[in-house]
């Protein structure tokens, strides 16, 4: 899939039937490792990328930074890539639409838009504005030459700004507005995911975290999930490993933790393979 148009079409096709896992790299190296080990597509992670800059998640990365990062991930492997673009880096619908157009210029095959404001406490946008923002993003996506998967996210549940009842109302409205993929991150239980799946006609993305982390890919697929993402979880696993190693060294003077390290030559081979070399 060396041509971007081929990647865009393949990404669209992945969402039309079956179920696939879309891991979330945070730099070119992690993207290539994921590609080498069988990933069919990749999605950026706003948190994972922010951590590489020494910043917290939720509104601390600019649109230009996110676009440059996305372009680097696109260039790293032959796989299609979707962008985790928070609130679209804007409040107004037309500015969100411009983000979608810029996402395609960066080589992305899709992106997600949240209904959460990037201000203190991260409140949800009012219902009507949230829907208008998705409608504008959809219109921009439809104006592009190749398919573009527009994922509409209802983030109020994960952020604590609204409950599942409102999440269901919002995703139904996002579906009617033309979103290609629906996502309610970190639903409280399997029954809530079933409600999401029943409420919309479009493919649904599920986050393999919280209550859903107890389910296998096969079980999530059997429920009707079309796409499974991991968000910042793999990135945060690398931070956990770093903290474990540093604490062992600093607190205990123990270098035994290094026995868990991967071999350098093996990583080199995977990086070459993931690059399509």
User: Which pLDDT value is given to residue 277?
Assistant: 55
Confidence check: pLDDT of 185 > 60: yes
Residue 38, pLDDT above cutoff 70: yes
CA angle 75, 65, 23 (to 5 degrees): 50
CA distance 136 to 33: 35
The answer to whether the beta carbons of residues 221 and 175 sit under 8 Å apart is no
Coil, strand or helix: which one is 78? coil
Q: What is the pLDDT of residue 73?
A: 98
Instruction: Please state which CATH class domain 4-274 belongs to.
Output: alpha beta
**Domain limits, the chain:** 4-274
Nearest to 20 by CA among 29, 30, 10: 10
pLDDT digits (tens, 9 = 90+) for 138-174: 999 999 999 999 999 999 999 999 999 999 999 999 9
| % pLDDT > 70, the chain | 99
pLDDT the model gives residue 121: 82
Rounded mean pLDDT of 105-129?
A: 95
pLDDT tens string 76-88: 999 999 999 999 9
Q: How far apart are CA 262 and CA 172, in angstroms?
A: 45
Q: Mean per-residue pLDDT for 96-115?
A: 98
Residue 2's pLDDT band (cuts 50, 70, 90): low
For residue 175, give the H/E element and its range.
helix 164-176
pLDDT band with cut points at 50, 70 and 90 for residue 264: very high
How does residue 124 score in pLDDT terms, banded at 50, 70 and 90?
A: very high
Evaluate if residue 247 carries a pLDDT over 60. yes
pLDDT of residue 33 exceeding 60, the answer is yes
CB of 193 within 8 A of CB of 215? no
φ, ψ of residue 132 in degrees (nearest 5): -60, -35
The 10s digit of each residue's pLDDT in 199-238 is 999 999 999 999 999 999 999 999 999 999 999 999 999 9
Asked if residue 15 has pLDDT above 90, the reply is yes
Alpha-carbon distances, residue 176 vs 23, 133, 135, 138, 169 (angstroms)? 28, 13, 9, 11, 11
| Most confident of the following: 83-87, 258-262, 270-274 | 83-87
Per-residue pLDDT tens for 22-32? 999 999 999 99
Longest dimension (CA), the chain: 59
Phi/psi for 76 (5° steps) reads -75, -30
Quick one: pLDDT at residue 59?
A: 74
Other residues' Cβ atoms within 10 Å of the Cβ of residue 46: 24
| Long-range contacts of 214-221, Cβ-Cβ distance < 8 Å, separation of 24 or more | 215/190, 217/19, 217/21, 220/19, 221/18, 221/19
């Amino acid at each position: 899939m060396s041509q971007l148009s081929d990647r865009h079409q393949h990404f669209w096709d992945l969402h039309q039937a079956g179920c696939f896992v879309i891991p979330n790299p945070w730099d070119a190296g992690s993207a290539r490792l994921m590609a080498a080990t069988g990933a069919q597509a990749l999605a950026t992670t706003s948190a994972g990328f922010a951590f590489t800059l020494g910043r917290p998640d939720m509104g601390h990365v600019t649109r230009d930074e996110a676009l440059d990062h996305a372009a680097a991930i696109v260039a790293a492997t032959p796989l299609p890539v979707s962008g985790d673009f928070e609130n679209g880096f804007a409040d107004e619908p037309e500015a969100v639409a411009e983000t979608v157009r810029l996402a395609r210029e960066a080589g992305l095959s899709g992106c997600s838009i949240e209904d959460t404001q990037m201000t203190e406490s991260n409140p949800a946008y009012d219902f009507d504005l949230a829907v208008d923002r998705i409608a504008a993003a959809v219109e921009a996506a439809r104006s592009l030459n190749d398919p573009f998967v527009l994922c509409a996210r209802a983030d109020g549940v994960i952020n604590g700004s609204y409950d599942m009842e409102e999440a269901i109302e919002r995703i139904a409205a996002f579906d009617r507005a033309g979103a290609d993929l629906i996502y309610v991150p970190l639903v409280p239980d399997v029954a809530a995911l079933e409600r999401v799946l029943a409420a919309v006609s479009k493919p649904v993305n599920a986050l393999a975290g919280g209550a859903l982390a107890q389910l296998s890919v096969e079980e999530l697929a059997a429920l009707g999930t079309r796409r499974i993402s991991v968000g910042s979880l793999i990135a945060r696993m690398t931070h956990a490993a770093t903290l474990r190693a540093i604490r062992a060294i600093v607190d205990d003077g123990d270098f035994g933790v290094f026995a868990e390290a991967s071999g350098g030559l093996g990583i080199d081979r995977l990086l070459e393979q993931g690059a399509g070399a």
